[in-house]
Amino acid sequence: MFLSVLAVCCALVAVLLVGNGVRALRRGARSLTRLLALVAGTVLLALDALVVVLARVDTPTSSAVLVLVLAVAGYVAVAFLVFLGAALAYGHVRVSEQAEALVVLGCGLVHGQVSPMLRSRLDRAVEVFRRSDAAGRTPVVVASGGQGADEDRTEADAMAEYLVGHGVPADLVLREPRSRNTRENLRFSSAVLQDAGVDGRTLVVTNDYHVMRTAITARRTGLDARVLGAPTARQAVPSAFLREFAAVLVMHRWWHLAAVVAIVALWSLGLATGVLPR
């Protein structure tokens, strides 16, 4: 009964993920990062089928393999749920929205213009800028983002243009046009602020799905900053959170590898001692 309920739940989640991935394909998405929902849904369907087959075969060997598959898959599922809960909680932590500096992280352009995801970050930065300015603490805003291989200008230039067009004075917009990832965003932006002589409270603005990894990276790079989340478009949520989960797994890969090795070792011990059938 438990396996039947589990199989049905996995199948439902997989169908939802595949559906989201198909819609992304229809909108023109082609990169792996934008199709992670489709990939994850397909993998989950394959895993679901494997579990069903192993359960139906019902031999000592298939039962032992089924235990191992469920143990490893269960670990990944628990890790994802912990990540998701922490990311959502961190993204909704109340932050005093006043600062001497705002750093907006880039995330790609569409035909040389800011993407909907990036626009969400910039709009949040403009909102925070206005609140800080009204409270008497007018911050500088760092537009942080380099030029991708498929982009005809830097993200920083497009972001700065958007910020100025939405009321942020041009002399308060600083550009960081070299970064290619989150770590470089934070490290190079910190250098830009130091060169400009800006000190004090810094807020980093990104999307809510990206808040947790940005905060971890900020601590690792020694940047004393709080991270503020902007809304993520509903259709982008599955792939965005899956991509972040994969990135966090890579950041802590040795811990997770050690956990999987421990699971396999316990499974092997169970086989050797007869606790599990062979």
Determine which of 22-26, 44-48, 90-94 has the lowest per-residue pLDDT on average: 22-26
96 or 115, greater pLDDT: 115
Q: What is the mean pLDDT of the chain?
A: 84
Strand, helix or coil at 110? strand
The sheet carrying 226-230 orders its strands as 173-176, 140-144, 101-105, 202-207, 226-230
19 or 59, greater pLDDT: 59
May I ask the CATH architecture of the domain 101-232?
A: 3-Layer(aba) Sandwich (3.40)
12 or 169, greater pLDDT: 169
44 or 214, greater pLDDT: 214
Distance CA 101, CA 139 (A): 5
Distance CA 262, CA 252 (A): 16
Average confidence (pLDDT) over 107-128: 89
Report residue 164's pLDDT band, with 50, 70 and 90 as the boundaries. very high
Query: If you ran DSSP here, which 8-state letter would residue 235 be given?
Result: G
141 or 151, greater pLDDT: 141
Average confidence (pLDDT) over 5-9: 64
Looking at the chain, which residues constitute the CATH 3.40.50.620 domain(s)? 101-232
pLDDT of residue 275: 76
pLDDT of residue 2: 59
pLDDT > 70? residue 94: no
Distance CA 218, CA 216 (A): 5
pLDDT of residue 233: 75
Predicted structure pTM score: 0.78
pLDDT per residue as tens digits for the range 180-239: 999 999 999 999 999 999 888 899 999 988 988 898 898 888 888 889 888 887 767 777
pLDDT of residue 239: 78
